[in-house]
Every structure is written in C-alpha cells, then in structure tokens.
Structure 1
Amino acid sequence: MIVALLNQKGGVGKTTLALHLAGEWAGRGKRVTLIDADPQGSALDWSQARSRDGAPRLFGVVGLARDTSHREAPELARGVDHVVIDGPPRVAGLMRSALLAADLVLIPVQPSPFDGWASAEMLALVAEARLYRPDLVARFVLNRCGARTVMARETAETLADHDPPVLATTIGQRVAFAAAAQAGRLVSEIDRDTPAAREIAALADEIERLSITGAAR
C-alpha cells in the first residue's frame, strides 16, 4: 500500500506522521520505504542524522522531490509492504504526482478553522486525481490536538460531515514528538508506553483496517 501524507498548508505535521507511521510498520516487521517528496528534505535530514549517530536503520528513505513520483513510487512499492510519501507544501506538480501514486491519501489538519479553509484547495486536487484514479481513498487525520479542547471536538464534528471523512484516531500536541525528532529518533524508540507512541500505533492499526476492508488497495 502507498500512503501519501499531503496538505498544501505547511506546518501540519506531515513529516512527523510520515516518519512515525513508517517506523511503526517497520517495528512490526513490515518492509517499508519512505519517499521524501518535500524539497525541504526534512525526512532525509532525519535519516542522515540517525546514520551519523550510528542509530539502526529502520526503513529506507528515498529523496524524490520531483513530479515523477507517480511513476517511480509503484516501482519502489514492488519490493516492500508499505510506501509512505512525505508530501510537499504548495507545489502543485509534486502534489499531483504524489496523489496519482497513492492508494490512500492522509490529509493532516490541526484543530483550527484556518486549517479547514486551507484544505479546500487540497480537496480540489484530490477530486482532480480521482478522474484518473477513481479508487483513490482519502481521509483527514486530526494532528496536534490539545487534550479535550473544544476546538478539537468541533473540528472533528465538522469533518465528520465531509467527504473525505476523518479518521477516528487523533494525534495529540505532545512535546515527545519534538524531543524525538531532535534526537533523530521516534517516540516508540524512546518509550513505547507513552501516549504519543500509543496514538501512532492506533493510527497505523486504523489505516491497516482500511486496507483489510478494501477501502484502500
């Protein structure tokens, strides 16, 4: 399965979610490749920092910040169980290519009305991609949610009426993610028995259930 994390709005946590999903699946014994399709190359930087520190290689990271990922990602997918694409912000050509490559598109949004408005352009690109890939599945994922905030609840309720729908799993606003990133690690490597690690595991489980039920190829 090829999972792309995409949103034209920057700063919504695409790279964090992409790295942690790839790491979670790798920790379960899956063969995983992460495609860094963001010209900023944050996922590649994270991978190189791990290598310099002598940390174990959990999954492959490939830089592919060009508009040919819809041709190259399926080739990379042949030798692995999952491909995760860390998508670019506001680069339409790269975004369209990632959309055409994906089986499942995750659109991370923060609990804010501004994120909802910014998603309209992203949804237009999803609709365009479905002209060529009618089986393309898309889901919102609420990220960086404050615990029990009214805004998070209202955002979830608003997205529940949307197509695409929102995933049930939400990811909290947790300092553990920033601390792990600075160390070139994943939250599960530091401590699997934390809310952050449990949320990532639940997100991976929910995505795999989509695959099992045929919602994604």
Structure 2
Amino acid sequence: MIVALLNQKGGVGKTTLALHLAGQWARQGQRIPLIDADPQGSSLDWSQQRSREGVPRLFGVVGLARDTLHREGSELARDADHIVIDGPPRVAGLMRSALLAADLVLIPVQPSPFDGWASAEMLALIREARIYRPALLVRFVLNRCGARTVIARETARTLADHDPPVLASTVGQRTAFAAAAQSGRLVFERDDAGPATREIAALTAEINGLDLGRPAR
C-alpha cells in the first residue's frame, strides 16, 4: 500500500503524521521506505538528526521531490510492505504525481472553519487523479485537535458525511511530538504508553482496516 499525506495548506502536521505512520509500521516488522516529496525536506532533516544522535534507523527516508514520483515510487514498492509519501504543499505537478502514485491519500486537517481546508483546488486534483486511479481512497485525518473542544466536535460532525470522509481516529495537539522530533525520535521511543503513542497506534490500526478493494469514496 502506498499512502500519501497531502494538504496544500502548510502547518497541519503532515510530516509528523507521515513519520509516525512509517515508524508504527516499521516497529511492527514492516519494510517501509518514506518518500520525502516536499522541497522543504523536513523528513530528510529528521532522518539526518536521528543519525547525528546515533539512534538506530527504523526506516529509510528518500528525497524525491519531483513530478516523476509516481513512476519512481513504483520501483521502491517492489521491496516494501508499505510506502509513505510526505507530500508537498501547493506544488501542482508534485501533488499530481503523488496522487497518481498513491493507493490511499490522507489529508491532515486541524479543527478550523471547513472552507479553509477542503479547497476547491485540492478536491479538483483528487477528482482528476481518479480518472486514472478510480480506486483511489481519500480520507481526512483530524490532527492537532483537542477532542473535547467544541470546534473539534463540530469539525468531526461536519466531516462525518463528507466526501472524502474523515477517519474516526484523531491525533491531539501534544508537545510530545515536537520534543521527540528535536532528537530525531518518534513518540513511542520516548514514552511507549503515552497518549500520543496510543493515538498513532489507533490511527495506524484504522488505516490497516481500510478496504482498498472497494469503490473509491
């Protein structure tokens, strides 16, 4: 399965989720390359920091910020159980290539007015990709949210019947993610029983349960 985390809006936690999804699969014994398709190279920076800290590698990170991603990614898929793509913000050619490469697209969003997330441009790119990839699955992921806040509850209700729909698993606004990233680590390496670790495990389990063979929605 090739999973691409995409959002044209920056600052929604796309890289954090990509790294932790890859890490969760890797700790379960899966072979996982992560493709950093963002010209800013945040996932590559994280990987280099991990190396400087002398922390053993969990998964490989490959820089591939070009619009041939859908062709080159298929080569990596031959020796992998899953591939995670940390996608670019607002780079149409790269975005199209990532959409063509993916089996599942996750769109991280934060609790905020809905019109700020589901831009017509992003949804248009998804519709365009489905001409070539009709089985492409797309899901919103509520990230950096307080589960008990009014806006988070309203957001979840708004997205419940939306197309694309939202995953049931949410990830909170937690300092644990930033603290782990500073040393090139993931949250489960610092606190294996903490709430951030539990949220990532639940998100990964829900993704594992998606039926990629059913008609796209």
What TM-score range do you get, normalising by the shorter chain? Answer: over 0.9
| Pairing of 1:60-209 with structure 2 (within 5 A) | 60-113=60-113, 116-120=115-119, 121-209=121-209
Q: Which moved more, 1:51-60 or 1:13-22?
A: 51-60
The two structures have a TM-score, normalised by structure 2, of 0.96
Cα distance, 1:216 vs structure 2: 9.0
* Matched-pair contact (CA < 8 Å) for 1:33–1:61: yes
The two structures have a TM-score, normalised by structure 1, of 0.96
Q: In structure 1, the residue corresponding to 2:131 is in which secondary structure?
A: coil
Q: Could you report, residue by residue, the CA deviation over 1:102-157 in whole angstroms, capped at 9, with x for unpaired residues? A: 000000000000x5433222111111100111010000000000140000010111
Aligned length: 215
Counterpart residue number, 1:41: 41
Counterpart residue number, 1:4: 4
Q: Could you report, residue by residue, the CA deviation over 1:26-69 in whole angstroms, capped at 9, with x for unpaired residues? A: 00000000000000000001001111111000001000000010
Q: CA–CA distance in 2 between the matches of 1:207 and 1:6?
A: 15
Q: CA–CA distance in 2 between the matches of 1:215 and 1:197?
A: 30
* Matched-pair contact (CA < 8 Å) for 1:104–1:216: no
Cα distance, 1:183 vs structure 2: 1.5
Structure 1 residues 108 and 134: CA distance shift in structure 2, 3 A: same
Cα distance, 1:215 vs structure 2: 4.6
Cα distance, 1:192 vs structure 2: 1.2
Q: CA–CA distance in 2 between the matches of 1:216 and 1:180?
A: 38
Structure 2: any 5+ residue segments left out of the alignment?
none
* Matched-pair contact (CA < 8 Å) for 2:39–2:88: yes
Provide the alpha-carbon RMSD of the alignment.
Answer: 1.4
| Pairing of 1:50-69 with structure 2 (within 5 A) | 50-69=50-69
Look up the equivalent residue of 1:88 and give its one-letter code: P
Query: Percent identity between the aligned chains?
Result: 77
